[in-house]
Amino acid sequence: MQDEPVVDAEEAPLSEEAPLSAHAEPADREVESTLRPRQLEEFVGQPRVREQLQLVLESARRRGTPPDHVLLSGPPGLGKTSLAMIVAAELNSAIRITSGPALERAGDLAAMLSNLTEGDVLFIDEIHRIARPAEEMLYLAMEDFRVDVVVGKGPGATSIPLDIAPFTLVGATTRSGALTGPLRDRFGFTGQMEFYAPEELEHVLRRSAVILGIELHPDGGAEIAGRSRGTPRIANRLLRRVRDYAEVRADGTVTRDVARAALRVYDVDELGLDRLDRAVLTALVRSFGGGPVGVSTLAVAVGEETSTVEEVCEPYLVRAGMLARTPRGRVATASAWAHLGLAPPAGTPGEAAPTLFDD
């Protein structure tokens, strides 16, 4: 049996949270950690990335060398952190965890790199947000396993080369386009994470229900999966909230009816939209006639920060086909009007064109 990887730092907070809360509570983070798969064979979904990563790790094991650096790219909540921990577990190595925003100075990174032992895995979440001085130091560390430490200031400053142990960097990013070319090119493998199909999320929920001791009926799992926005992290959080409802207001068993009643209480509708999502759509449709309207104006209308609307709500609304980004601003599609129970005006994006046989 493989030893679990050693974690020497707190896991960096993730950039986007699921509906129901603005930030995960410590207890929720502990539960999420419990639900993480420990080995590659336990990881549900992402079959292409799993196959590719398995080849990278197995070939490295056979050569007896650390695998190439790994970049995992994709929306929040799809398992990038879990895969980083699995890499360390599969290699029977320790993992050091940090985040891009935490590496403000090159010295911060140098201190972390100098403490690595051979074969360690360094995981940097939100690596696209790493400070430029630290990023430039990372180039040399990734290629030559060496860092140059500058001692002194001004004309008298000297650079001292410092060898570091061979390691594997696993970087995670939600915005691969924000990575600089030199940094992106130094990764030997890039895995693009995709949203999960409902059937895959049902598998995730069944596994989580067993771990948490929840009696989950297949129809209850299907109901939760359909409202989870294709994201395992959201599915697991909704499962825990449905469990709360089932224990307090039902017999503890999660059926379809119980799941529907629970998610109604928590303002998660049949498409996975929460209160803020619907507020954005309602403001766009009722206050601005469906748009176009600027995102900052839309944010003021719903009483949220512009970044919250742009980074938390918009990606899913666009993917669900309810909102369109145009050069003039945000526009509600015909699906958004229909979801709110309203008839779209003529010319709305996504509206079916009339045929010759229409009255």
List 96, 229, 233, 241, catalytic entry: 233
Distance CA 12, CA 23 (A): 13
Q: Is the distance from CB of 232 to CB of 45 less than 8 angstroms?
A: yes
Strands 189-192 and 146-151: unpaired
Distance CA 38, CA 232 (A): 15
Q: Is the distance from CB of 122 to CB of 168 less than 8 angstroms?
A: yes
Residue 233 annotated among the catalytic residues of the structure: yes
Distance CA 286, CA 290 (A): 7
Strands 70-73 and 253-254: unpaired
List 96, 98, 120, 125, catalytic entry: 125
Helices (H), 227-294: 232-249, 256-265, 275-282
Residue 308 annotated among the catalytic residues of the structure: no
Q: Is the distance from CB of 104 to CB of 131 less than 8 angstroms?
A: yes
User: How many helices and strands (H and E) does the chain possess?
Assistant: 15, 11
Helix (H, G, I), strand (E, B) or coil at 182: helix
Residue 125 annotated among the catalytic residues of the structure: yes
Give strand pairing partners of 163. 146
List 98, 168, 173, 174, catalytic entry: 174
- 207 CB neighbour count, 10 Å cutoff: 16
List 81, 98, 168, 348, catalytic entry: 81
Q: Is the distance from CB of 83 to CB of 192 less than 8 angstroms?
A: no
List 80, 186, 243, 278, catalytic entry: 80
Residue 153 annotated among the catalytic residues of the structure: no
Q: Is the distance from CB of 325 to CB of 318 less than 8 angstroms?
A: yes
Token pair belonging to 264: 């109604």
* 255-263 contacts at long range (C-beta below 8 A, 24 or more positions apart): 255/217, 255/219, 255/220, 256/217, 256/219, 256/220, 256/222, 256/223, 258/220, 259/220, 259/223, 259/224, 260/223, 263/223, 263/224, 263/227, 263/238
Residue 186 annotated among the catalytic residues of the structure: no
Q: Which residues are catalytic?
A: 80-81, 125, 174, 233
